[in-house]
Structure 1
Amino acid sequence: MEAVEGMMERMKLSMAEKKGIRVQAEGSGSQLAAPQAVGKVLAEKLVGADGLAQTLGRIWCPIKGVMCKDLGENHFLFTFLQGSGKKRALDDGPWMFGKDLVVLIDLDESKQLRR
């Protein structure tokens, strides 16, 4: 045990090693804390999540786009793949999808979706 302690005392770190490293959890780090919002399309007909993601994603996150999950009855969960996309979506609206209004709110995981 003393031999190990002696080696530890003689160990010197380079300047790069002293700065540290960034460790991410397994999986895609961008999706772990990806910004999200909930939206509703005010339309009489059902709207597809893929169409919303492609159309509005080009505006909100022009480089990486958005992911859109259908929650039923024209309610959708938007996951923004660029940090500034959520701010733009929430602040620069109202938004239209075709001739239908899209209403967005910030995701609050402590609340339930009421239809």
Structure 2
Amino acid sequence: MLERMQLSAAEKKGIKIGEGGKVMAEKLVNAEGLAQALGRMWCPIKGIKCKDLSDNRFLFTFLQLAGKRRALEDGPWMFGKDMVVLVDFDENKTPEEVEFAYIPI
């Protein structure tokens, strides 16, 4: 199915869309491992970037437009046995001000 997909020039360049996330785990999570695992599901062609903001909080950058929609709407998501909670990025808030209280089911 992916072989038949035709991407526009803009899609081939990639789209960077921010998204905040928190892994509800007692142990610290590795950002690179998180990006690899979730990137395969959210953006299977180009993947995602994941910046560690500390305290198991991350900033995801989606390199495919549909990835952000998939991440927000098709959950809930798990990383190993731990829940991943996502919120739409709000550049007016600091990571500490972002509330991770909602999981779409």
Any unmatched runs of 5+ in structure 2?
1-12, 98-105
Equivalent position amino acid for 2:73 in 1: D
SS in 2 for 1:105: strand
Residue of structure 2 equivalent to 1:92: 74
How many residues are paired up?
A: 85
TM-score by length of 1: 0.71
TM-score by length of 2: 0.77
Confirm or deny: 8 A CA contact 2:42 2:70 kept in the other structure: yes
Q: 1:7-86, aligned counterparts within 5 Å?
A: 30=14, 34-86=16-68
> Which contiguous aligned blocks of 4+ residues in structure 1 show a shift greater than 6 angstroms?
none
The answer to whether structure 1 residue 104 and structure 2 residue 86 are counterparts is: yes
Residue of structure 1 equivalent to 2:3: none
Higher helix share: 1
Larger CA Rg, structure 1 vs 2: 1
The alignment yields a C-alpha RMSD, in angstroms, of 1.3
Q: Percent identity, aligned pairs only?
A: 65
After superposition, the C-alpha distances for 1:50-101 in whole angstroms (9 at most, x for unaligned) are 0000000000000000000000010000000000000000011110000000
Any unmatched runs of 5+ in structure 1?
1-28
1: distance between equivalents of 2:94 and 2:53?
Answer: 12
